[in-house]
Amino acid sequence: MHLTTSIKEQIVVFIADESSEYRSFMRESFKKAGINAKIHSFTSEEKLMNALGQASAFPDIIFLTFNLEYETAVTCLRRIRLRKKLSTVPVIVFSPCTYLKDIEEAFNNGAGLFIPKPLFIKESTKILQKIFHLKWRRDLLKPNRHEFVLTSNPVDADKLSLSSS
């Protein structure tokens, strides 16, 4: 896949979330946003990591909830980033919790974006379209500290943004 992938080309998406309703919601959101995606969903970090170890399954992007059944997304991020072949796969963390400490940990451990989960549900189509703009892969692999938290409301993003320290 090229860095300038459009949302019309099919991308492979891995989604890890314990909620079957949320995984179904994500599938529907991709359709509504007009993103041609083959979606693989997982109920736990363990199942996601097993799939990432298989040669036949390789994602273009990973969406990872912050509250997985067995481990936190930060632990999972660390495990993903330890695998050389996954170093160019963007990982987006979404969470119902917006503690600055958690956002900072996600940033420091290689996430490309942090999305507050309730806001994501409300504005999912717009947010997915923002994520998959023309140079989405490059931008997600080198996130801007001040634009790391993605919301549709600039005031919410300002409240949750990371300092430059």
Q: What is the mean pLDDT of each run of 10 residues along the chain (165 residues)?
A: 51 92 89 92 89 84 77 83 91 85 88 81 82 74 77 54 52
CATH of the domain at 138: 3.40.50.2300
Query: Is 70 a domain residue?
Result: yes
Q: What is the pLDDT of residue 2?
A: 34
Q: What is the pLDDT of residue 82?
A: 92
Query: Is 137 a domain residue?
Result: yes
Whether the CB-CB separation of 40 and 16 falls below 8 Å is answered with: no
Q: What is the pLDDT of residue 16?
A: 93
Phi, psi (deg, nearest 5) at residue 44 = -155, 165
Q: What is the pLDDT of residue 37?
A: 94
Query: What pTM does this model have?
Result: 0.82
Residue 34 domain boundaries: 11-160
Q: How many folded domains does the chain comprise? A: 1
Query: Is 4 a domain residue?
Result: no
Query: Is 2 a domain residue?
Result: no
- Torsion-angle region of residue 85: left (phi > 0), alpha (psi -120 to 50) or beta? alpha
Q: What is the pLDDT of residue 1?
A: 36
Helix/strand/coil (H/E/C) assignment for every residue in 71-123: CEHHHHHHHHHHCHHHCCCCEEEEECCCCHHHHHHHHHCCCCEEEEHHHHHHC
Query: Is 6 a domain residue?
Result: no
Q: What is the pLDDT of residue 13?
A: 95
Q: What is the pLDDT of residue 36?
A: 92
Query: Is 3 a domain residue?
Result: no
